[in-house]
Structure 1
């Protein structure tokens, strides 16, 4: 009906002509032909190939005919397809009225991409400013925020200023897709256009959210204070953004302040607001405080939802407080909140981490019995737990079971098993699993290589480990410090002290801090080879990293230097004393 209202005005004074110039209204066959063409284009898949031959004498190129077709068909996408056919096959050149009608219909249907293609295909078409304003809203809903901003500047050229509400819709759309740069560009356009006095609290709320998204939460907070001083109060989503931002900054005094502001402004914090607070506390390892807020929330009459219960249960499991987590588990069920797969996996993971695989298996079986499908998360949780406790054969059995049951393995499941196999000394199987991971098309992570490199160095296969390290480098994966520690210690054990020295210097240049034991292994190896100059270099680097020498190493070095009649500077002896 909306399409018909939109297009009716375009038909009021139209004359419809046949190919010979007669009036369509006097042609009794016109309505019949129009109906037939609409039916054909709606029902036949390749009508473009036959339509001209079916109606050889019909004048398809008359723009008035297209308007009748658009109104009668009442399907914007078919009408757009029909227009493309007309322009390519019939020499049709759509006029302003045809384009206006189709463009408005596409915008009303939310077809922002189709509306954009119409603009691109008809460069001479200039929609009415009001139509372009609706188009901006359509683009925002479709996530095409860059195009929406371009339309604002197109309207500026013709002297048309959209409503503040249109700006707000676009600002929110930019925030939704993470384009804070466009938020500030639009806001600058609002200032230049002189609408600052009309900016409402919704606009300011968007700016506060943009600050928070960019990590400038204190700037957002200052803007909130200015808004409150004017007697305005943004909605809860703005407060939630500030709370989430301050939680990331561990500014919990500010979080408390914002909660009090919300209450004083009769903008009472909802369950989602407290969810942000509790989630932020647990993410920052402030589990005790998160648990306290959760209990306080219940005491004040709030009813936590399943997500909040799961968040707190996970926090308690991370603290190793499985007893408290289990109490919440049953409390949640008693309140009619049925645990989902994620809640089950949180508890299973908690039991695995404390080594209670019996309870973990019970929960796993219970989850399956309740009809939850076994998925990659549940399998990986059990595989990780079994590997953690050295039960690698059972973990490997579960890994193979995933394939039999059609559960797709992911990178985490491969990495968990590779680590477990390495810890169990089964390096051949671990290497085979890494090759399988690569053959399956997965992009390996640092965790795919690190356990293997460590284990290979421990068993004297440092050369193989270094080839894996090169493979990591070729894949643009940056090794962690302990991986290079393992390489250096492995080289020292194999007597390749000079190469170990080279890796130490690389490590320092990459801003990675070696372990104290790495320095000690190098000093021991260099001492055995009487490389006294290199020992002084290693000592200097060691002291710069803040380490101290053990007394036994000091005695050994002094004895070594004296025995070799090496000129051991007095300064070094003084430094030994100062550093140690």
Structure 2
């Protein structure tokens, strides 16, 4: 097992002799060595910056902090409302924080600790964050002066630990975790353990994630569903699917109910292992357990079967789920429709869509358009028109290209009047027609010898500005 290297701690200086706020007598930067003798009353130290910035910062502080004694409330107001928004001085917040800690009449509390922790974490100043956490451990909040520790200590450290884990500084996260354990009352919350475990998993350090989980058990902290989901996912990623199943059983044995993420992770693991029947069986177990499907559940099952060429099995499975009423409302089965249409099985795609649509699982706009194109390629124009009409009734407006293609198909079959009714329905639902749609209809009427109907369409085109000249108008009216 990997041994964690304790990070180098930058010591903070002890408070200096009493000083008054107007004279601004702070300690030097905490990263500098502690002086051996008490120097004359120092000024606020700003390392690695020129004298001009130094003088301006002192002037800025004197302007906004006028009346001693300094309190955490006034310091926090200065840091949040004044310094934080200043384009030149915002990054000096930790220097000001350290300066305040040297004033004998002043003591930081959890409000300034919390704000400073967030500021350093959000700006990725992790060296300074480590110094801050060491300072908090040595100088607890005044709330801790009684028999109980400050209730904000754990949230302060949790934010820092989460920031460390987010950037992969796991050793620092563990050191902060151990420091926090010594400060709080009782045991750390399971949320903190989950943050660190997930940090190890995200960085590919599976063994250390397990080590931390074992420590969690030794500390008598009970894992929750998130703990188990993180570790099950890690087992699957590391090709240890058998151990993932064992942990799933352990999870249920300990009285922790799996959720949809637990099942999805295992189903995906079964499919990755090529055990499709086991994955499907797990889905039915999920139904019996009373756990609702998510869109991801259906995508794992249906898309996974389709990738293996088991398209018909995917259709039967989805239809069965629909009849059981477990298909989630937001699931888009466009992928299955697309695969079927590519395989020239548009009739089967229509069956699947009809079955799900009838039971309230309305297809997406792109699924409907894909189905219409598949039906058109299979010369099933009536079914394509029915799908488009049903779309419009549901308030789904097709794109103009698909609409024009269907209208052209109807006109080619001598059914221009039917195509014109579809135009009126589409217009009432918000479809903006273009000149191509009107041209198709006008020529369709002309070819069928219905000059009056063709003239009505041509006149509407003229009103909308789609006819550029008289010759074009005469051609449309005369066919």
- TM-score of the superposition, structure 1-length normalised? 0.44
- 1:224 Cα deviation (Å)? 1.7
Residue 345 of structure 2 is aligned with which of 321, 329, 332? 321
CA shift in 2, pair 1:267/1:18, >3 Å: same
Which residue of the partner structure matches residue 189 of structure 2? Answer: 163
Q: Is the 8 A contact 1:180 1:210 kept in 2?
A: no
Q: Which runs of 5+ in 2 are unaligned?
A: 1-17, 25-52, 138-151, 403-479
Residue 198 of structure 1 is aligned with which of 221, 225, 230? 221
Task: Provide the rounded CA distance (Å) in 2 between the counterparts of 1:173 and 1:76.
Answer: 35
CA shift in 2, pair 1:120/1:248, >3 Å: same
Deviations 1:177-209 (A, max 9, x none): xx1624542331343576364342432332112
Q: Which runs of 5+ in 1 are unaligned?
A: 1-14, 22-46, 379-580
Which residue of the partner structure matches residue 91 of structure 2? Answer: 84
Write out aligned runs for 1:397-476 (5 A).
none
Task: Provide the rounded CA distance (Å) in 2 between the counterparts of 1:58 and 1:233.
Answer: 55
CA shift in 2, pair 1:59/1:140, >3 Å: closer
- 1:68 Cα deviation (Å)? 0.9
Q: Greater relative contact order (Cα 8 A, min sep 6): structure 1 or 2? A: 2
Q: Is the 8 A contact 1:63 1:98 kept in 2?
A: no
- The aligned length equals 329
Deviations 1:79-122 (A, max 9, x none): 7975634777x997342855964341255xx6673364275278
- 1:133 Cα deviation (Å)? 5.7
SS where residue 307 of structure 1 aligns? coil
- 1:250 Cα deviation (Å)? 2.5
SS where residue 221 of structure 1 aligns? helix
Deviations 1:348-391 (A, max 9, x none): 77569x6879999999x99999667899xx9xxxxxxxxxxxxx
Which residue of the partner structure matches residue 425 of structure 1? Answer: none
Residue 307 of structure 2 is aligned with which of 283, 292, 313? 283
Which residue of the partner structure matches residue 64 of structure 1? Answer: 70
Task: Provide the rounded CA distance (Å) in 1 between the counterparts of 2:217 and 2:164.
Answer: 28
Deviations 1:490-519 (A, max 9, x none): xxxxxxxxxxxxxxxxxxxxxxxxxxxxxx
Q: Which structure is higher in helix share?
A: 1
Which residue of the partner structure matches residue 104 of structure 1? Answer: 114
Which residue of the partner structure matches residue 9 of structure 1? Answer: none
Task: Provide the rounded CA distance (Å) in 1 between the counterparts of 2:113 and 2:82.
Answer: 9
Deviations 1:24-68 (A, max 9, x none): xxxxxxxxxxxxxxxxxxxxxxx9997866887887898937751
Task: Provide the rounded CA distance (Å) in 2 between the counterparts of 1:55 and 1:268.
Answer: 58
Q: Is the 8 A contact 2:83 2:93 kept in 1?
A: no
Q: Is the 8 A contact 2:303 2:335 kept in 1?
A: yes
Q: Is the 8 A contact 1:287 1:319 kept in 2?
A: no
Deviations 1:134-189 (A, max 9, x none): 443566489715236622234336864743331124434666xxx16245423313
Deviations 1:509-538 (A, max 9, x none): xxxxxxxxxxxxxxxxxxxxxxxxxxxxxx
Q: CA RMSD in A?
A: 5.2
CA shift in 2, pair 1:207/1:277, >3 Å: same
Residue 211 of structure 1 is aligned with which of 231, 235, 251? 235
- TM-score of the superposition, structure 2-length normalised? 0.52
Q: Is the 8 A contact 1:278 1:294 kept in 2?
A: yes
CA shift in 2, pair 1:320/1:157, >3 Å: same
CA shift in 2, pair 1:115/1:166, >3 Å: farther
SS where residue 99 of structure 2 aligns? coil
Q: Is the 8 A contact 2:338 2:371 kept in 1?
A: yes
